[in-house]
Structure 1
């Protein structure tokens, strides 16, 4: 499958760098998506709402604040289409998704979240 596996976590990028020691209880959401499944985070970077730290696909690593990511997770994560991120459409992702609403609700305003996007091709 060509696509992406995404993890959103409260762990820092340094903590996420060693997947053997990652606290999976810190995961807010994980999902698999198709070929354009990473467009949403690229768009957030273009808008200045997220920062890309690594870009080799194993993983691509980003950071973004809770107030940017939490509403997207709570809305069901709209699917990027033609480079657009239609926040008003609750279309959901193709593939599997796990979201932990109680963990998302526990995030502090301004908290920096780590977004990892793994190339699945």
Structure 2
């Protein structure tokens, strides 16, 4: 499958990089998407709303404040239909989307989130 697997977590990038310290209870959302499924985070970086820390696909690693990411997650991740992945929406393969609204609501304003986007090709 060509596409991307995205994980958004309250853990630091350093904790996410060390597989022995990854806490799945800290995940706010995860999903798989097609070819353009990472365009949303690239757009946030271009707007200065997110920071890219690593770019090699295994994973691409970013940070962004919860104040930027939470509204996107709360609006919902659109399921992709017939291979259509709109570039201005978070999209995911049907059945692959997991969002934890209670964890998102528990985040503090200004809290920095880690975003990992794994190349699935």
The TM-score, its normalising length taken from structure 2, stands at 0.89
Q: Distance in 2 between matches of 1:67 and 1:2?
A: 30
Question: 1:118 matched to which residue of 2?
Answer: 118
Q: Equivalent residue of 1:32, what SS?
A: strand
| Cα separation, 2, equivalents of 1:77 and 1:115 | 15
CA distance in 1, matches of 2:119, 2:11: 20
Structural mapping, 1:8-23, within 5 Å:
8-23=8-23
Displacement of 1:21: 2.3
- Report what 1:44 is aligned to: 44
Q: Please give the alpha-carbon distance, in whole angstroms, between the structure 2 residues aligned to 1:17 and 1:41.
A: 19
Match of 2:70 in 1: 70
Number of residue pairs aligned between Structure 1 and Structure 2: 115
CA contact (8 A) 2:59 2:119 kept: yes
1:94 corresponds to: 93
Partner of 1:3: 3
CA contact 2:9–2:114 (8 Å) conserved in 1: yes
- Give the drift of 1:77: 2.8
Deviates more, 1:11-20 or 1:102-111: 11-20
Report the RMSD for the aligned CA atoms in angstroms. Answer: 1.6
Consecutive unaligned residues of structure 1, counting only runs of 5 or more, are none
3-state DSSP class of the match of 2:92? coil
With structure 1 as the length reference, what TM-score do the two structures score?
0.89
- Deviating above 4 A after TM superposition, structure 1's stretches of 4 or more consecutive aligned residues are none
1:33 matched to 2:37: no
Q: What is the alpha-carbon distance in structure 1 between the residues aligned to residue 14 and residue 117 of structure 2?
A: 15
| 5+ long unaligned stretches in structure 2 | none
